[in-house]
Amino acid sequence: MRRFLAALVAALGLTVVAAPMASAYEPVNMVHTERVQAGPYGLTVGFSVWPLRAQQSLDFTFIPDGGIDGKSGTLTTVNPVTCTSRPQPLARHPRKRDVWGLDVRALRVEGDWTFRFQLAGPLGQGTGELRGLTVLAQPGPPMALSWSISILPLIALVAFLVAAWRRTRAQVAGTVPAT
């Protein structure tokens, strides 16, 4: 029993030591950036996909000059359809912890968007906007067509289950329907 436990501990130890730190997600790669001046703070807004398209998931990063330490802020998005969203606090990006950001977010409608930033820090408060952020039409087929095609297997499954249920019910009753 001691040999078994020693081998088990050794195997677990080697696994922990030999395994590199696992990263669950790929790193955040910014392919396009824009500059915003929010009062005394310069802010770099990064996008993981460019050009932007509606309903396409992407990462946003918000990097104030001098880093995020000692600073706080909010982001308000203004889209062309429903106008202004509720301000949300700027939080650390889950995969790039040294900056603020949004992880795997999609802009729902096409048109010209505005990102409004309100920052506070040692130099005071400041407000800035990134205007005219063009979001193109959704890639791929229209959403209704995509859903219609994807629901076809479900319809076939329901038809199969109904036919099987009717056939089984008829056999239990003693009559077999003609095929």
Whether residue 5 is contained in a domain is answered as no
- Residue among 31, 115, 30 nearest 73 (CA): 115
Q: What pLDDT, on a 0 to 100 scale, did the predictor assign at position 73? A: 95
How many independent structural domains does the chain possess?
2
Q: What pLDDT, on a 0 to 100 scale, did the predictor assign at position 83? A: 75
- The CATH number of whichever domain residue 59 belongs to comes to 2.60.40.1930
Asked whether the predicted pLDDT for residue 41 surpasses 90, the reply is: yes
Please tell me whether residues 112 and 154 are part of one structural domain. no
Per-residue DSSP letter, 65: T
| CA 91 from centroid of its chain's CA atoms | 15
Structural domain of 171: 142-179
Q: Which of 26-30, 41-45, 120-124 has the lowest mean pLDDT?
A: 26-30
- Total length of the chain: 179
